[in-house]
Structures are given as C-alpha cells and as structure tokens.
Structure 1
Amino acid sequence: MAHLRTYRSTGLIAQSSGAAIAALKARAAAWDVPLTETHEELTMSVWGCELRLVPHVDGMSVDLSAPEERLIGNLRDSATEIFAEVGLDIAWDRVDAGALAPGLSLMRVLRVTRPSPGFVRVRIAAPDAARFTEGSMHFRLLLPPKGREPVWPRVQPTGRVGWPEGPDSLHRAVYTVADHGPGWLDFDIFRHDRSPTCDWVNGDPTGQTVAIIGPGGGGIPTAARVHLFGDQTALPAIRRILSEAPGQVTATIRCASADLGDTASDPRVAVSDDLTAALSTTAIAPTEFVWFAASADEARAARKHLQSRGHDKKDMTVAAYWS
C-alpha cells in the first residue's frame, strides 16, 4: 500500500509564554478551525495540516506537519505572523530564504482567445501546471503594475513571505481553472471596466511570463445534492462544478445568454435575474449543499437567508466575487 508523504518543520520560541497559547486560540477562533488542547500540547488543524504548540522547560516548540511542501511554507508563514503579533519570534529549523513564495509558479502565456462576447480565455503553461487542477478550483493571478518589471513575493529569513509594496504591489485576482491538459491550464476572464486583469489581457500578453499562486479557495462540492447560484463572474466555477461534482447538481445563473454557450442547453441550469429571490424560493433540505457566488451585497443577503433557515455553515459556501 502506498503511503502519502508528510512534510514537517519545527520552530522554537525562546520562552514559554501564555501569550503564545492565547494567540493560537484567538487565531483558531477567528478562522473557525478545530483546536485540541491537552496538558502536553495545543494543536490547531487547518488546510489538512497541523500546527502543534508544545511547552518545554526552556521555551516552546512549534511543530508543523502537512501533506504538501507548499502547505508547510504557508503554515510557517502564518505561524510566524500569529506569534509575531504578540512579540514572539520563532527560530525555524530550516527556511529557504529568497525562494519564491510557497505555491507560486511562473507560467508562460500560450494564447488568448474569445470564447464568447463577455469572456476572454487565457492558456498558460508550466511543468507543474497539473497541481493547480487538484483539490481546490481556484488560484490567484499575480500581475505587476503596468510598465514595471515584476517583483515576486519571496520567503524571508524569518519564515514570513515578503510581498512587494508601493509601486511594485501586485494585483491579485482570483480565477478558476476552466480547462487543462498536459503542462497547461485555461482560465476565463469576465470582461469589465476598471479591471487591471482586463487591461493586461487586452494588451495581448502572449509569450509573457506571469505568476500564479495556489491552488486554494475551495474545491468541488461532494454532497449528494448541490444547489448552485451565481452571476456571470461565477460562471467558470459553476461550469467546473457541473462537470465534476459527483452528486446531483442544479444551477441558477444570472448571465447574458450569449456567454452561457453550451451551459444554456444543460437541463440542470436555470436563468434568473434575481439570485437572492431564486435562492429564497428554492426548496432546499437542511442536509443539501448550497453554493452561492455573486456581488458582496448579494452574498451577505444569501448568507443571512440561509442562516435564518437554520442551514449549517458546513453545508454552504457563500462568496463575494465582486464588491
């Protein structure tokens, strides 16, 4: 039987401190993630990883374990920040200072196409493209300001990731993997005004090098019954879920008919101009999963409505795709 590899890292805090314990408890509560406390250690579980805080006579150890190397890097970054907020430094066993941020890949733009009036499709390629197609559906596209050479985020000696600031600050928009093949992946950009990504793609970036970081932001719902609600910005994610979800799925979409393409003929799909009204009139059992993505105002209304119906938060994903 094959065994999954576990990646580990350990850091030391020079003094035993109740502040460290309080900081970890506060972060677990803020993130709403499991926290287990015994006489010997405090363990936070997040992203399929574990962070264990273990007191010793002369200090505390911070022990990390994760199923992926990039997740160890992300957890190290977060742990360093959590304890730095209460004035505690961590001496890590190993830090690859100067390396690109965990989960960041440099990709080459292969081509730009126009699949429908409202969307542009971009194909990017790199040897590790396949890892963005597993687990979560989304990634962040990192774009430097127009006219500036990119400065990518890199690991600092402390274990934190240093992100460029000021004139080198990166635009960090989230996109969904729409299609993929050996060494490449596609993502769709909804065309709209005042968008740095749209300005970038309108300049024909074919051949350019871009950075993406992830994956993250949630995966394909696996519930037996899934209800999707989303506007045109959510269309790429809805298409992906309709294609890959193992359960019974229906979708209600607000989108121009010309952009729906083959999705318009899918019998599982309905079109509505009012997503919150459609949500409120849809019969949804307490154990069925609800996925909702649209504007921030609509997301707030959807979350409030589902909470008023007693829908458990583990059975819903409500996201603001734009403000």
Structure 2
Amino acid sequence: MSQLQTFRSTGIIPHLSGAAVAALKARASAWEVPLIESPDQLSMFVWDCELRLKIEPDCLRIDLSGPEARLIGILRDSATELFEEAGLTAEWDQLDIGALAPGLSLLRVESVASRTPGFIRVRVTGPEAGRFAERGLHFRLLLPPSGRDPVWPRISASGRTDWPKGEDALHRPVYTVVAQADDWLDFDIFRHANSPTCDWALSEPVGQPVGILGPGGGWCPNARRLWLFGDETALPAIARMLDLAEGEVFASISASVMDLAEMEADHRVTQVGDLLSALREHERFGEDDFVWFAGPADQAREARKHLTSLGLPKKSFTAAAYWG
C-alpha cells in the first residue's frame, strides 16, 4: 500500500524564549485548533499540518510537517509572522528565495464569455490547473494594475511572502472554481458597478497571465443532509457543492431566475425572496445535517445568531459574509 508523502520545513529561534510558546498557544486558541503540550515541546495542528516547537539547550527548534509543499509554505509564512509579532526571528534551514508564493500558479486567460445577465464566465489554462479540483472551493485571483507588467509575490529571505506594493500592488478578490478538467478551470464573476474584476474581464484579457492562489476556503461539507442558503454572489459556490455533495442537498437561493441558469430545473433548488426568512422557517436541523449560509455581512451575522440559538455546534454550520 502506498504511503502519503510528507513535506517538511525546519528552522530555529536562536535563543530560548517563553514568548514563542505563549504566542503559539494564543494563536491555537484564537484559531480554535488542537494544541498538544509536553515538557519539552509544543505542537499546533492546522490545515492538516503540524507546527512543532521543541526546546533544545540553547534554542527553540521549529519543525513543520504536512501533506503538501504549498501548505508547508503557507504555515511557514504564518509562523514567521507570528514570531515576528512576538519580537522574535525565525531562521529557516532551507528557503527557495525568490520562488513564487506558496500556492501561487500562473495561468493564462483562454476565454471570457457572458454566462448569464449577472455573470461573466472566465476560463484560464495552465499545467497546474488540476490541483484546484480539490481541497478547497475557492482561490484568490491576482490581477496586476492595468498597463503595468505583473510583479508576483515571492518568498523572501525571512520566509515570509513579499507582496508587491505601491503602483505594482495586486487586486486580490476571492472566486470559486465552478468547473475544472485537464489543464483548465472556470470561474464566474458577478457583474456589479465599481468592480475592478468586472472591468478587467470586459477589457478583452484573453492571452494575459493571471495569478491563481489557493485552493482554500473549505470543501463541500460531508453531511447526510446539506442545507444551502445564498444570494446571487454565492451562486458559483452553491453550484459547485450541488455537483460535489454525496448526501441530500436542499438549496434556497435569492437570485433572479435568469442567473439560476441550469439550477432552475434542479429539484433540489428553491428560489426565495428573503434568505433569513427562508432560514428561520427551520426551527431545528438534524444531528447529521450541515447548514451553509452566504450573503451580505449583516445577514450572515443574523444567520450565525439564529443557528447558534438552535443549539447547532460550530462544526455543523458556516455563515459567511460574501459582501457588505
């Protein structure tokens, strides 16, 4: 039987410090992730990775391990920042200085088309497109300023990602992979005023390079019953989960019929006028159910309050602010 590959990164904090231990404990508490402590080491578990601090005679040794080089790079970036905030410097044993930021792929725009009255469909291609088919529904689209050559984020000598600033600063919106196969992936852009991404999509960008950073943002919840509530901005994520879900799915969507497209004929989808009213019609959910809500920030807050009042544990729901 084949074994999963483990990736690692190691380094030191060159003097003993209780500040590093305190910082890691505080971060684990803030992120609500597991932390295991023993007399000579401390381990935090996040993103399927382990960050271990081991006490040695004259330093603290840092050991990162996980299933993907991308995740190790992201964790190293986060750890470096965490220790810097505590007034400490992490010295990493091996760094690919100048390499693209962890999780960043450079793809090329193949096509742009009107998907529905409210959405623009973009297809990008490249040899790394396939890795966006799993482990996360979302990604960050990195767009350089109009008229400037792109400057991409790269790994610096400190271990952190060096992001372009000033005139080279990138626009970094989050989008959902709606389809992926072979060497391409598709995503949909919601049309709205004052949107740099809409302006870019309508500027005939075919052939241009773009940065795709991810994947991230969670996967389709594995539940016996999955309840989805979202407005038009959540349509791409809901469409993807309707494709991925293995159990029963019930989707309540506040969007125009024309933007629902093929989802209009899906018996699992109900068009609603008000998302919160649709959610509040449910006075209880099953033990094996998962509730996913996405929309404006104020409604996401109210949805979170409602689901908490029903006694749902945090692991059984998501209430995300997609805008506002």
TM range (shorter): over 0.9
In structure 2, the residue matched to 1:71 is: 71
Residue 121 (1) aligns with residue 121 (2): yes
In structure 2, the residue matched to 1:195 is: 195
Shift of 1:126: 0.6
Shift of 1:300: 0.7
Q: Report the AA paired with residue 242 of structure 1.
A: L
The aligned runs of 1:1-323 (5 Å cut-off) are 1-282=1-282, 283-323=284-324
Shift of 1:55: 0.7
2:122–2:186: 8 Å Cα contact kept in structure 1? yes
Per-residue Cα deviation, 1:128-158 (whole angstroms, up to 9, x for no partner)? 1000111111110001122222111100001
1: CA distance, partners of 2:161 / 2:139: 17
1: CA distance, partners of 2:205 / 2:2: 42
2:224–2:288: 8 Å Cα contact kept in structure 1? no
2: CA distance, partners of 1:111 / 1:44: 43
1: CA distance, partners of 2:240 / 2:321: 18
Q: Report the AA paired with residue 292 of structure 1.
A: F
**Runs of 4+ off more than 4 Å:** none
1: CA distance, partners of 2:6 / 2:221: 25
1: CA distance, partners of 2:157 / 2:140: 24
The SS at the match of 1:136 is coil
1:286–1:310: 8 Å Cα contact kept in structure 2? no
Shift of 1:86: 1.0
2: CA distance, partners of 1:318 / 1:125: 32
2: CA distance, partners of 1:82 / 1:249: 39
Out of 25-34 and 101-110, give the one that drifted further. 25-34
Out of 282-291 and 105-114, give the one that drifted further. 282-291
Number of aligned residues: 323
Shift of 1:285: 2.2
Provide TM-score, normalisation by structure 2.
Answer: 0.98
1: CA distance, partners of 2:197 / 2:33: 33
% identical aligned pairs: 58
Show structure 1 runs of 5+ residues with no match.
none
Provide TM-score, normalisation by structure 1.
Answer: 0.98
Shift of 1:170: 1.1
1:286–1:312: 8 Å Cα contact kept in structure 2? no
1: CA distance, partners of 2:43 / 2:225: 33
Q: Report the AA paired with residue 273 of structure 2.
A: D
1:288–1:315: 8 Å Cα contact kept in structure 2? yes
2: CA distance, partners of 1:100 / 1:279: 42
The SS at the match of 2:222 is coil
Shift of 1:174: 0.8
2: CA distance, partners of 1:279 / 1:102: 38
Shift of 1:287: 3.5
Shift of 1:83: 0.5
Q: Report the AA paired with residue 98 of structure 1.
A: G
Q: Report the AA paired with residue 54 of structure 1.
A: K
Shift of 1:231: 0.5
Shift of 1:312: 0.6
Shift of 1:286: 4.1
Show structure 2 runs of 5+ residues with no match.
none
Q: Report the AA paired with residue 144 of structure 1.
A: P
Q: Report the AA paired with residue 215 of structure 1.
A: P
The SS at the match of 1:220 is coil
2:222–2:247: 8 Å Cα contact kept in structure 1? yes
Q: Report the AA paired with residue 12 of structure 1.
A: I
1:224–1:288: 8 Å Cα contact kept in structure 2? yes
Per-residue Cα deviation, 1:73-114 (whole angstroms, up to 9, x for no partner)? 111101101111111111111011101100000001000111
Task: Report the RMSD for the aligned CA atoms in angstroms.
Answer: 0.9
